[in-house]
A and B are shown apart, each in its own frame.
Chain A
Amino acid sequence: MKRVIIVLAVLFAAFSVFAASENALEIFSWWTGGGEEEGLLALFDLFHTYYPDIEIINAAVAGGAGTNAKAVLKTRMLGGNPPDSFQVHAGMELTDTYVIPGLMEPITFIYKELGILDKFPKDLLDIVSYKGEIYSVPVNVHRANVVFYNKKIAEEIGMKKEPTTWAEFLMYLDKAQQKGYIGLSLGDKNKWTSLHLFESIVLAELGPEKYNKLWKGETSFDDPAIKHALSVMKDLLKYVNSDHSALTWQDATRLVFEGKAFCNVMGDWAEGYLKTLGWKPGVEFGWFAVPGTQNAFMLVSDTFGLPKNAPHRENAIKWLKFLTTVEAQDTFNPIKGSIPARIDADKSKYDVYLQWSMNDFSTKSICPSIIHGSAAPEAFSTALMDAINKFVTEQDVNKAFKEILWIAEDNGYVAD
């Protein structure tokens, strides 16, 4: 009998622990290292100053740059137990995977309530919307179409002005190579970085307007500009390090840092990495938009949405409203090394590079990145990534172009 009572007592205690988490908020992300984790925790702390009674459960999953987390999330959504809110790339990654199958609640009402529809670039709100309703709150913004370069080498090869055309860029790459440096470092062991490079070239060739129309079915993929993008990439590949398939993106950025390579095309998380290695923006390294894309901002953005049947819906809404504030965004982004999605943020909190990025963000056209989940569904981007992987080796422009058309058609885009 005594045993039964003890068991019951334990069960009751356990149950009350569960019952106590009534006022909780489960936030799901893959921010588990470095500045990302720090930034997330700072956000939690700030959130607590407003809502001290809400218990935040940090359900972050590490590994594979989010691929593990995405797999876990799919499983949970499939099994009908969503977190209260989860990190997801702006655009198609959310729309195609969860909005279209009807698993998310529209949150346009949050923006309307707070009167902040004009505080975010219209292009960005467009990306996070589906059929007129907004489905997520962008928290941070990275720019993907950036070239980071080693200033010492730039001086050595006589680069006075940053290149704005392919011709100029190739000339400098050539000069660097003549002097024994790697022109453009690339690390595509994990395959995605070559698509990262290619999509910026496509952006340069098509121009932001046409590029954006591709995803809406208003422009065809069968455009000479895309074919030309492949030729440009082929030219660039002449100046790439021979062991690119054994390196990760960090290794490639590191080559620039070690003075072995002149430059590298990468999203501005590379800027954060260069800073952790000890460099200062504008001092040892410089940057410019990928030639031809000066008037476009290729966007990579993390956002949070509201899943249907969120266990603590009211708290989730509080979280989302919180994320839209300047205070929250200016807390998270300086730590993570990205810029806020709001255009009225406090610029003084950000370093020289990020300020440059923020200026462009509020003035230039915003374009969704393919490989970072914004422009197209995963099936398309992984297929394209494989096609570009082949192209890097085979360098057969006609063959690759045909494959791109086939992939586009296969995924419902216009290809004729």
Chain B
Amino acid sequence: MKKIFTYFFLILISLYILVPLYVLLATTFKPLQEIGISDMWKLPKDWSLSGFIKAFQKLGPNLKNSFYLTIPATIISAFIGSINGYVFSKVKFKYANLIFAIILFGMFIPYQSILFPLIRFLQSIKLYGTISGLILVHVVYGIPITTLIFRNYYSEVPNELVEASYMDGAGFFKTYTKVLFPISIPAFVVVIIWQFTNIWNEFLFAVTVTSSPDKQPVTVALVNLAGSQVVEWNVQMAGALLTALPTLVVYVLLGKYFIRGLLAGSVKG
């Protein structure tokens, strides 16, 4: 009896979670003729890829931009986080915790409060409007969370391991490459997934740092699509699906690590 209750509520909640997914998929695969406002909830009669193809044509270049942005930014910020995490967890120096807290605060600020100076700064170093500029932005603002995740991870590593390495005469970097790095894979996976998802999905920096359509990431292109001339809903929804696809794939394949990244910033407290 109780089981039925539980399943009932689970399914109810699932409906809530699935409604947008249903709308997204059903609309994406409808041919243009079937897109009527009154047919919104119906399944496609003639399953068609035309919306998807058109969306891909329109958003293709922007998808490329998103990859050009997300992959380098993720890898670079993962390495920086790792080496920082090593220092903050294994090297004792005065005010380490305070400095770390000061860095961590950067993760929580509304980006609006640094947006205008950031733009002016990027202009002055000639990186405004470029993907490279956006990569720099994401790397810098990713420092707090990546450092946090690695710091937490390395603090679980027994200090003796590091001490032993020093005893053997290995220096700071050797210890990193020989001892810490090899066992960091899980942390790297978490950080990479978390950063990939966040940077790929990000909108505010994307829309203000890059402004010409050939440089804009796909999140901006999607919003532009919604505001453009002729609103073909199958193309719109297909565009939304395309934008969501990479992170969804990552989530489906590596969800476990995604959740770990999620919890890194919160349960620790």
Residues of B within 8 A of A78 (CB): 123
Are A75 and B229 also in contact (CB < 8 A) when A61-B213, A63-B224 are? no
A57 within 8 A of B: no
Provide the residues of chain A in CB contact with B158, threshold 8 Å: none
A1 at the interface (CB under 8 A from B): no
List chain A residues, Cβ under 8 A from B220.
Answer: 63
Q: Is the CB of B229 within 8 A of A63?
A: no
Q: Complex: how many Å from CA A29 to CA B229?
A: 17
Q: Separation in Å of the A212 CB from the closest CB of chain B?
A: 32
- Which chain A residue has the least Cβ–Cβ distance from B213? A62
Query: Contact between B230 and A63 (Cβ–Cβ < 8 Å)?
Result: no
Residues from chain A with Cβ under 8 Å of B177 in the complex: none
Q: How far is the CB of A395 from chain B (nearest CB, A)?
A: 27
Complex contact B123–A79 (CB within 8 A): yes
Residues 71-109 of A, flagged 1 when their CB comes within 8 A of B and 0 if not, give 110010011000000000000000000000000000000
Which of A33, A68, A79, A190 sits near B211, CB closer than 8 Å? Answer: A68
Say whether, besides A62-B224, A250-B231, A75 and B129 are in contact (CB < 8 Å).
yes
* In the complex, per-residue mask of A241-269: 1 if CB is within 8 Å of any chain B CB, else 0: 00000001011000000000000000000
Contacts of B213 in A (CB 8 A): 32, 61-63, 68
Whether A33 and B228, one on each chain, are in contact in the complex, defined by CB atoms closer than 8 angstroms, is yes
Alpha-carbon distance between A61 and B211 when the two chains are bound, in angstroms: 7
With both chains docked as a complex, state the minimum distance between the C-beta of A188 and any C-beta of chain B, in angstroms. 14
Question: Is residue A34 within 8 Å, beta carbon to beta carbon, of the partner chain?
Answer: yes
Least CB distance from B162 to A in Å reads 40
Q: How far is the CB of A336 from chain B (nearest CB, A)?
A: 13
Least CB distance, B204 to chain A, in whole angstroms: 14
Chain A: minimal CB distance from B211 (Å): 4
Interface set, chain A 216-256, CB cutoff 8 A to B: 248, 250-251
Q: How far is the CB of B1 from chain A (nearest CB, A)?
A: 45
Q: For residue B130, give the distance in angstroms from its CB to the closest CB of chain A.
A: 12
**Complex-state Cα separation, A63 to B214, whole angstroms:** 11
Shortest Cβ distance from residue B12 to the other chain A in the assembled complex, whole angstroms: 28
Q: Is A248 touching B227 in the complex (CB atoms < 8 A)? A: yes
Cα of A72 to Cα of B228 in the assembled complex, Å:
19
- Chain B residues whose C-beta falls within 8 Å of the C-beta of A64 in the assembled complex: 224, 227
A61 to B213: give the CA distance in the assembly, Å. 6
CB-CB < 8 A to B119: which residues of A? 75
**A72 engages B211 (CB within 8 Å):** yes
Q: Which B residues lie within 8 Å of A178 (CB)?
A: none
Contact call A72/B129, Cβ cutoff below 8 A:
yes
B229 touching A71, Cβ below 8 Å: no
Q: Chain B residues near A251 (CB, 8 Å)?
A: 231
Interface residue ranges of B192-235 to A (CB < 8 Å): 211-213, 216, 220, 224, 227-231
Residues of A172-211 whose CB lies within 8 A of B: 190
Q: Do A276 and B227 form a contact, CB below 8 Å, given A68-B211, A79-B123?
A: no
Q: How far is the CB of A189 from chain B (nearest CB, A)?
A: 9
Q: How far is the CA of A68 from the CA of B212 in the complex (A)?
A: 7
* Contact yes or no, A33 B231, CB < 8 A: no
Contact indicator per residue, chain B 26-58, by CB within 8 Å of chain A (1) or not (0): 000000000000000000000000000000000
Q: Could you tell me the distance between the alpha carbons of A273 and B224 in the complex, rounded to whole angstroms?
A: 18
Distance between Cα atoms of A79 and B124 in the complex (Å): 8
Interface-central residue, A33, A68, A276, by most chain B CB under 10 Å? A68
Total of A-B residue pairs, C-beta within 8 Å: 43
Chain B residues near A276 (CB-CB < 8 A): 230
Closest beta carbon of chain B to A241's beta carbon, Å: 13
- Interface residues contributed by chain A, number (CB under 8 Å): 21
Assess the B229–A34 pair: CB atoms within 8 A.
yes
Of all chain B residues, the one with the shortest Cβ separation from A64 is: B227
Residues of B within 8 A of A273 (CB): 229-230
Q: Are B231 and A72 in contact (CB under 8 A)?
A: no
Contacts A64-B224, A75-B129 hold; do A33 and B229 have CB atoms under 8 A apart?
yes
Are B227 and A190 in contact (CB-based, < 8 A)?
Answer: yes
| Nearest neighbor of B221 in chain A, beta-carbon distance | A63
Q: Is the CB of B211 within 8 A of A71?
A: yes
Whole-angstrom distance from the CB of B154 to the nearest CB of chain A? Answer: 40
- Which residues of B, 71-127, contact A by the 8 Å Cβ criterion? 119, 123
Contact flag A250-B229 (CB < 8 Å), given A63-B224, A72-B129: yes
Chain B: minimal CB distance from A62 (Å): 4
What's the minimum C-beta distance from A54 to chain B, rounded to whole angstroms? 22
Instruction: Decide: A75 and B227 in contact? CB cutoff 8 A.
Output: no
Task: Convert B163-207 into 0s and 1s, putting 1 for each residue whose CB lies closer than 8 angstroms to a CB of A.
Answer: 000000000000000000000000000000000000000000000
**B230: chain A residues within 8 A (beta carbon):** 250, 273, 276
Our pick among A65, A72, A79, A250 for the contact of B212 (Cβ within 8 Å) is: A72
| B128 interface hit (Cβ, 8 Å) | yes
The smallest C-beta distance from B247 to any residue of chain A, in angstroms, reads 23
Give B223-268 interface residues, CB cut-off 8 Å to A.
Answer: 224, 227-231
Contact B227 A63 (CB under 8 A): yes
Q: B123 to chain A: which residues have CB within 8 Å?
A: 75, 78-79
Contacts of B227 in A (CB 8 A): 63-65, 190, 248
Closest to B128 in A: A75
In whole angstroms, what is the CA distance A64 to B226 when docked?
10
Nearest residue, chain A, Cβ from B129: A72
Q: What chain B residues lie within 8 Å of A34 (beta carbons)?
A: 229
Starting from the known contacts A78-B123, A250-B231, 17 additional A-B residue pairs (CB-CB under 8 Å) come to A33-B228, A61-B211, A62-B224, A63-B213, A63-B220, A63-B224, A64-B227, A65-B227, A68-B212, A69-B211, A71-B211, A72-B211, A75-B119, A75-B129, A248-B231, A250-B230, A273-B230
List 29 A-B pairs, Cβ < 8 Å.
A32-B213, A34-B229, A61-B211, A62-B212, A62-B213, A62-B224, A63-B213, A63-B224, A63-B227, A64-B227, A65-B227, A68-B211, A71-B211, A72-B129, A72-B212, A75-B119, A75-B123, A75-B128, A75-B129, A75-B211, A79-B123, A190-B227, A248-B227, A248-B231, A250-B229, A250-B230, A250-B231, A273-B229, A273-B230
Which residues of B pack against A, CB within 8 Å?
119, 123, 128-129, 211-213, 216, 220, 224, 227-231
List 9 tightest A-B contacts by C-beta distance, closest first.
Answer: A62-B213, A63-B224, A72-B211, A61-B212, A68-B211, A79-B123, A34-B229, A71-B211, A33-B229
